[in-house]
Amino acid sequence: MTEYANKGTQIRFFNSMTRRIEVFKPICDDQTRIYSCGPTVYNYAHIGNLRAYVFTDTLRRFLNWKGQTVTHVINITDVGHLTSDEDAGEDKMELASQSMEKDIWQIAEYFTQAFKSDLSQLNVLRPTLWSTATDHIHDMIAFARVLEDSGVTYELATGLYFDTTKVPNYGSLALTPREGQEEGARVDPIAGKRNATDFAIWRRSPSEGKRQMEWLSPWGPGAPGWHLECSVMSMKYLGSRFDIHTGGIDHREIHHCNEIAQNQAYAGHAHSGANGWMHNNFLIDRSGKMSKSKGDFSTLSSLIARGIHPLAFRLMCLSTHYRSELEFSIETLAGQLVRLKRLVGAISSLSQQVESDSWMRIPAELGFSSGAAFTYPRTVLEQKLSPHGEKLLDGFDREMSEDLMTPRALPFLDETINHGQLCAEEKLRILASMDLVFGLKLFETRRCDLALRPKDASLSASEVEVLLEQRQQSRRAKDFSNADAIRNRLHAAGIEMMDGQEPSWEWRPLLR
């Protein structure tokens, strides 16, 4: 562990289970084990889902920065679960297979790769382990047999069900108690279910027609219920008690309550899985722009196609605390692109002021993208900092340690850049250290990478940069007709000039 890792602010996280902010104490000293619920791979990931992985990645990077070795497991749900969390409705994977006229296994493989590619574009570190549901069917059957033997299940014609009255405090994680709630009117209730909150452990295939994905089991051919895989895989790889379980806030009400019930029935009541449960809030769209009819900004590739760099989306996520709703707007996103570009530009001019940049290559050598568990030695900061530098980094540490308060930690980047009493090299070392946590690739990205890629390809990114510069010169020289001609050319290429606006808005993608 590095010197810095041993000091600094005590980490405190909000635990959804206890509903308060608590001091974070890993079970094993300097090792943290995290399980994150992954996607069901029947479609491209929605940017609201991607927010969950930017959050988890920031959590992991910050723990690394504090000297923790993090073992991180994310699952891939490639067994279709149903269009409702309530075990009714149609199988999402089977539906995708029908509509895309592809084999269900091809669907799973295709969207798994698309998801991983999204994460890599968002600079999300590869987890220590990707665990795939279909690789664990036998483990799930064995787990379900233990549940059956312990008397918490019952069998119906449709499969094996968990009786949620058999575990104490079922659903205590949920914000909304579900007792007495009727199953949604949209889906058929399961005949014979004893309690509304009971859920499928094993879904038996319907007698008519064969499912594309099904396995033999003691309860007939079929597929595991969705909640089972997370209990089985988290326990297999992280143990029956690990440190943090993450997921979107929508998982808090049903999926995670069911995981906890399964864990308790399997391993004893003390074993609810994780010590800490952390949930990120929704990404919401008041503008309606994410809908297909109004332009469709719902996937990462749809943003990229409009000239938004994926790391601008990462920056947008970091600009709102993970437990708050993140309000999506394309204008905000365009503003974050400009902010990112300014940060990259400032760092590049600081770099020009220092003689050697050998230290800047260190982060890459640490294996940022390697899947192995590792700690970040504070190599970039081994040299002693000045009291001003210490103060900046301590401020950053304080905000991040308080339940990952990224919106209040981000301004430390600007404060460092603009600091009047630090030399360029010390600024760079501090910025590099902060970016280990933010993951914005401030040192690896070039300004031209962030330049807009005009849709009509008549202009290259560097040509755009040149035109922007020429336009500025024309304006300074009061040659407004030339400035206007350049503006029109840029406009045709999908770039809107933001003269007379907030100073940070030099230009943005033309929002159409």
Minimum CB separation of residue 165 from Zn ion in Å reads 23
The answer to whether the beta carbons of residues 6 and 65 sit under 8 Å apart is: no
How far apart CA 360 and CA 358 sit, in angstroms, is 5
Minimum CB separation of residue 133 from Zn ion in Å reads 10
Measured from the CB atom, is 239 or 377 closer to Zn ion? 239
The answer to whether the beta carbons of residues 448 and 469 sit under 8 Å apart is: no
Phi, psi for residue 233 in degrees, rounded to 5: -75, -35
How far apart CA 226 and CA 47 sit, in angstroms, is 22
Helix, strand, coil percentages, rounded to 5, for the chain: 45, 15, 40
Minimum CB separation of residue 54 from Zn ion in Å reads 18
Minimum CB separation of residue 79 from Zn ion in Å reads 12
Minimum CB separation of residue 75 from Zn ion in Å reads 6
Measured from the CB atom, is 37 or 41 closer to Zn ion? 37
How far apart CA 288 and CA 298 sit, in angstroms, is 10
Length, in residues, of the chain: 512
Angle subtended at Cα 486 by Cα 480 and Cα 491, rounded to the nearest 5 degrees: 120
- Does 230 engage in binding with Zn ion (CB under 5 A)? yes
The answer to whether the beta carbons of residues 201 and 228 sit under 8 Å apart is: yes
Phi, psi for residue 358 in degrees, rounded to 5: -60, -35
- Which stretch, 51-59, 108-116, 229-237, 265-273, contacts Zn ion (CB under 5 A)? 229-237
Tokens, residue 32? 């943290």
Measured from the CB atom, is 66 or 72 closer to Zn ion? 72
Minimum CB separation of residue 57 from Zn ion in Å reads 17
Minimum CB separation of residue 125 from Zn ion in Å reads 20
Q: According to CB under 5 A, which residues from 414 to 433 bind Zn ion? A: none
Minimum CB separation of residue 37 from Zn ion in Å reads 3
- Does 232 engage in binding with Zn ion (CB under 5 A)? no
Minimum CB separation of residue 259 from Zn ion in Å reads 6
Measured from the CB atom, is 175 or 364 closer to Zn ion? 175
Minimum CB separation of residue 55 from Zn ion in Å reads 15
Measured from the CB atom, is 37 or 346 closer to Zn ion? 37
- Does 317 engage in binding with Zn ion (CB under 5 A)? no
How far apart CA 322 and CA 404 sit, in angstroms, is 8
Measured from the CB atom, is 230 or 330 closer to Zn ion? 230
DSSP annotation of 97 reads H
Measured from the CB atom, is 234 or 298 closer to Zn ion? 234
**Measured CA distances, 62 to 36, 68, 439, 472, 483 (Å):** 16, 9, 10, 40, 46
DSSP annotation of 360 reads G
How far apart CA 165 and CA 156 sit, in angstroms, is 17
Residue 379 CB neighbour total at 10 angstroms: 16
- Which stretch, 228-236, 264-272, 303-311, 464-472, contacts Zn ion (CB under 5 A)? 228-236
- Which stretch, 134-142, 212-220, 223-231, 373-381, contacts Zn ion (CB under 5 A)? 223-231
* Contact characters 182-221, Zn ion, x per CB under 5 A: ----------------------------------------
Q: How many residues bind Zn ion (CB under 5 A)?
A: 2
Minimum CB separation of residue 230 from Zn ion in Å reads 3
- Which stretch, 44-52, 226-234, 317-325, 343-351, contacts Zn ion (CB under 5 A)? 226-234
Q: Is 380 helix (H, G, I), strand (E, B) or coil?
A: helix
Minimum CB separation of residue 229 from Zn ion in Å reads 7
Tell the burial category of 412 from Cβ atoms under 10 Å away from its Cβ (0-12, 13-18, 19+): buried
Phi-psi category of residue 500: left, alpha or beta, with phi > 0 → left and psi -120 to 50 → alpha: left
Measured from the CB atom, is 75 or 375 closer to Zn ion? 75
Measured from the CB atom, is 54 or 308 closer to Zn ion? 54
Measured from the CB atom, is 143 or 328 closer to Zn ion? 143
Tokens, residue 48? 């609201």
- Which stretch, 227-235, 308-316, 362-370, 431-439, contacts Zn ion (CB under 5 A)? 227-235
The answer to whether the beta carbons of residues 326 and 285 sit under 8 Å apart is: no
Measured from the CB atom, is 144 or 510 closer to Zn ion? 144
Cβ contacts of 374 within 8 Å, gap of 6 or more:
64, 69, 366, 367
- Which stretch, 52-60, 140-148, 150-158, 225-233, contacts Zn ion (CB under 5 A)? 225-233
Q: According to CB under 5 A, which residues from 6 to 65 bind Zn ion? A: 37
The answer to whether the beta carbons of residues 133 and 191 sit under 8 Å apart is: no
Measured from the CB atom, is 37 or 431 closer to Zn ion? 37
Q: According to CB under 5 A, which residues from 245 to 274 bind Zn ion? A: none
Residues that bind Zn ion (CB under 5 A): 37, 230
